[in-house]
Amino acid sequence: MTHRIPLVVTVIILGIALFLMVKTMMSSEMYRIVDGAEPINYVFVPDYDQFSRSKHHVEGSFWSNSGDSLRVSVHYRTPGTEYVKTPLQRIEGSDKFSFPLPSLEIGQRFFYFLRIEDGASRSIDIKPERNLVDKLFAGKKEKLFYVTFEGRPSRALLLCHVVFIVAAMLLMIHGFYFSLQHLTSGRGLPGAYWTLFFGWILFAVSVLPLGYAIAKSTFGVGWGGFPLGMDITDNKSLGIVLYWFVLLMRGWRPQRGEYSIRTGKISGTTFVGLSLLGILLTILAYAIPHSVFIQ
């Protein structure tokens, strides 16, 4: 029965990861008040991406349960500038309002929030909710909706990036299985090393040279991480690549069957333990969406 534990645990972890991934992909960010007891109701779903040199439409549904006429405005700005206030226009015969933000160049952003006002001088500002990243790194700074104007990366680059990432994840899953196998039965160390080694190579290629090229064509800047900047996506990718580099390059040497670093020798059990930790850190890092940044 013991020999089945690695397979069972791997399947369970993989199932949970797939469930969370599908759930995240299918759920959309929505801000709403739909309550007959409230004087002002609304439904607003922000969209954070727009191709450059095309207008971005800010739109939503807004209505009053008291029969008052609503005024909906968008307050928008680019970094370092003052807000521009512009009313959203009601789409005739509906409770939908819309306004097209002007187009910007690749990599530029508008930041904005919405304000709803009625005839009784009531008003509501719609702003995004602050997440854990905002609380940790941005303090009490105001958070706004934003839209990033993007270029169109090469389909071949995107395909290579996705294929390499998927292959790296599959190898990492096998590395997870072999690591558990070593912990439970003492076997699986070579399999753990080589699957994680080749998975690391594919991952490094996908997020560094390919990631740089995609970011350059999409956002106009190829690298925004250390030492040039504080981009969360670039820095988490760099951190993961370096972690696995140190672990694998200074780690277990297959020809000797042992794990060694400059300061001495560490057992194979320690190697797979650090590998499991690395897999966990990789999962946690990529649970942070690529689009997250500090405003």
pLDDT tens digits, one per residue of 83-131: 999 999 998 878 999 999 999 999 999 999 999 998 888 899 999 987 7
Does residue 117 lie in a domain region?
Answer: yes
In the beta sheet, which residues pair with residue 148?
Answer: 49, 109
What is the share, in percent, of the chain residues with pLDDT greater than 90? Answer: 48
Mean pLDDT of 171-182: 91
- Measure the CA–CA gap between 281 and 237, rounded to whole angstroms: 11
Domain boundary among 96, 127, 150: 150
- Measure the CA–CA gap between 258 and 274, rounded to whole angstroms: 14
pLDDT confidence of 4, banded at 50, 70, 90? confident
Structural domain containing residue 176:
2-25+153-286
- Measure the CA–CA gap between 161 and 121, rounded to whole angstroms: 52
Does residue 207 lie in a domain region?
Answer: yes
Q: Which amino acid, 227?
A: P
pLDDT tens digits, one per residue of 122-167: 899 999 987 776 666 666 778 899 999 999 999 999 999 999 999 9
Q: 3-state class of 274 per DSSP?
A: helix
Q: Tell me the angle at which helices 155-185 and 5-26 cross, rounded to the nearest 10 degrees.
A: 150
Neighbour-count burial of 56, counting CB atoms closer than 10 A to its CB (0-12 exposed, 13-18 middle, 19+ buried): buried
Per-residue pLDDT for 254 more than 60?
no
Domain holding 130: CATH number?
A: 2.60.40.10
How many domains is the chain built from?
A: 2
Same domain for 99 and 174: no
Going by C-alpha positions, the residue among 220, 217, 233, 222 that lies closest to residue 155 is: 217
Do 109 and 149 contact (CB within 8 A), yes or no?
Answer: yes
pTM exceeding 0.85? no
Residue with tokens 């897999």: 279
Domain boundary among 94, 124, 150: 150
Domain boundary among 150, 165, 193: 150
Same domain for 159 and 19: yes
Per-residue pLDDT for 292 more than 70?
no
Does residue 292 lie in a domain region?
Answer: no
Q: Which residues contact 7 (CB under 8 A, 6 or more apart)?
A: 177
- Measure the CA–CA gap between 288 and 1, rounded to whole angstroms: 37
Do 84 and 75 contact (CB within 8 A), yes or no?
Answer: yes
Does residue 295 lie in a domain region?
Answer: no
The pLDDT score that the predictor gives to residue 110 is 96
pLDDT tens digits, one per residue of 197-218: 999 999 999 999 999 999 999 9
